[in-house]
């Protein structure tokens, strides 16, 4: 190969890897996550790398923005959370980002599941923080009966 063509990234392979991750996410999460509003971060991007993620939670939903990188798809994505909820998932503490691999079809699913669980725990902590003694007792009862219960503090 001439002129360094062998150094060019395999954009078709990267696009395929991202498509496999998204298919796995939608197939394996049974409606917990929906992807919409696909965009390209710049006109020459090889594939859509910006998405709105609708996360089904507590009989409602929250929306996050998933930022992949068409220019560096092997890098883990960034996620923009709704205002006021950024602190529930410090970027350096997200285990699935440390294990991120574009070539692993489960990577995106693992990331969003981990973030959803962290969001659930954050919301539960918020509920307990604003509850009086009686409500705290009721919340503890619910948590004892169903440890995976979804609660949401609406302030």
Tens digit of pLDDT for each residue in 23-75?
999 899 988 999 999 999 999 888 899 999 999 998 889 999 999 998 898 99
Q: Is 141 exposed, middle or buried (0-12, 13-18, 19+ CB in 10 A)?
A: exposed
Cβ proximity of 70 and 47 under 8 Å: yes
* Calpha distance 52→80 (Å, rounded): 10
Mean pLDDT of 89-118: 93
pTM for the whole structure: 0.83
* Per CATH, domain 11-115 is 3.40.50: no
Query: Which is higher by pLDDT, 117 or 147?
Result: 117
Tokens of 40: 């390209």
Cβ proximity of 60 and 152 under 8 Å: yes
At residue 9 the predicted structure's pLDDT band, cuts being 50, 70 and 90, is low
Determine how many CB atoms are found less than 10 A away from the CB of residue 120: 18
């Amino acid at each position: 190969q001439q002129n360094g063509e062998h150094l060019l990234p395999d954009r078709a392979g990267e696009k395929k890897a991202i498509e496999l991750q998204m298919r796995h996410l939608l197939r394996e999460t049974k409606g917990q996550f929906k992807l919409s509003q696909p965009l390209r971060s710049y006109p020459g991007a090889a594939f859509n790398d910006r998405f709105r993620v609708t996360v089904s939670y507590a009989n409602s939903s929250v929306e996050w923005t998933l930022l992949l990188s068409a220019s560096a798809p092997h890098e883990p994505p960034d996620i923009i959370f709704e205002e006021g909820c950024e602190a529930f998932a410090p970027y350096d503490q997200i285990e699935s980002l440390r294990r991120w691999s574009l070539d692993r079809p489960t990577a995106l699913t693992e990331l969003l599941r981990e973030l959803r669980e962290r969001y659930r725990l954050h919301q539960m902590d918020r509920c307990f923080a604003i509850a009086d003694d009686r409500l705290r007792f009721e919340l503890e009862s619910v948590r004892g009966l169903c440890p995976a219960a979804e609660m949401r503090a609406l302030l």
